[in-house]
Structure 1
Amino acid sequence: MLWNRSLHPRLGMALALSLGLSACAQMVQVSPQQSVSDAVAVQAGRERILALSPAVNARQLAPVQRALNAARDAVARNDYAYADRQTLLARVLLDNIQTRLNAAPSNSRQMALQSQITNLQSQIATTRQQIATTKAQIAQEAP
């Protein structure tokens, strides 16, 4: 009997939890319109962020803007499948731009590296000159 007493509260608790989770799942249903609209907004935000970069010009972002406008128009006419495809296209285009930005060093970084190379080459030339001068001094002092 002791085993049955401890089992009933556990079953009751499990039943209450499962019913509660089921009710929560039913309350949080996102409509297709909301889902696609949110996806369009996310990609539009990414587009605005990339537009702030001096390394990205408006011509590169034009296909993204066309895809996002087509997605917005499709949402307005309740064509969620087309809107989803256009949003996916915008995402891929933005990913490609981001990949190119990440792969290419920025101009300022490239200029800093070039400056370092020039300084190191100057130091190498100075060191070689000092070595040549030292060798000449040793040759003069040698009997």
Structure 2
Amino acid sequence: MDWLIGILLLVAGIGIGIFIGKTLFETKRPNASEEAKEKSEKQLMAEQANLHISETQNSINKIQEQCALLAEQLNHYQVVVDETTTDKDVNQLEYFHQQATLHLKTQKKEPKKVRKTDYQPLDYSEGQSGLFAGDAKKHSETS
């Protein structure tokens, strides 16, 4: 009977070992729902990546358009500056000079005012009067 108990324990141990081995060390297979979830996540990531790439390309295109516009404006500004620094400035200045000269020549001249030297204000007369009246020595000592 000992040998029968030994064989039964051996069979029971092998059964328990196989059961534990399958449950613990077996690679778990994902369920169909988990596989679908992984596929949907991968699709979502791919869609987001494509959206990001398209938005980045649009941004780059807008920046290139702005750079082209800026370059065009800069070239136009350079042309304007070159035109204004050429000999045309001399001709334009001569034109205004001629116009101003013509205006001054044709302008009605007012007669010059004649100063009457026989009447001067008291402060500016030849002799000392008004505020300047007094001893010349007092004024010379203070100054």
TM-score range normalised by the length of the shorter chain = 0.3 to 0.5
TM-score (ref. length: structure 2): 0.37
Structure 1-normalised TM-score? 0.37
Q: Identify the structure with the greater helix proportion.
A: 1
- With CA pairs under 8 Å and 6+ residues apart, which has the higher RCO, 1 or 2? 1
Q: Which has the larger radius of gyration?
A: 2
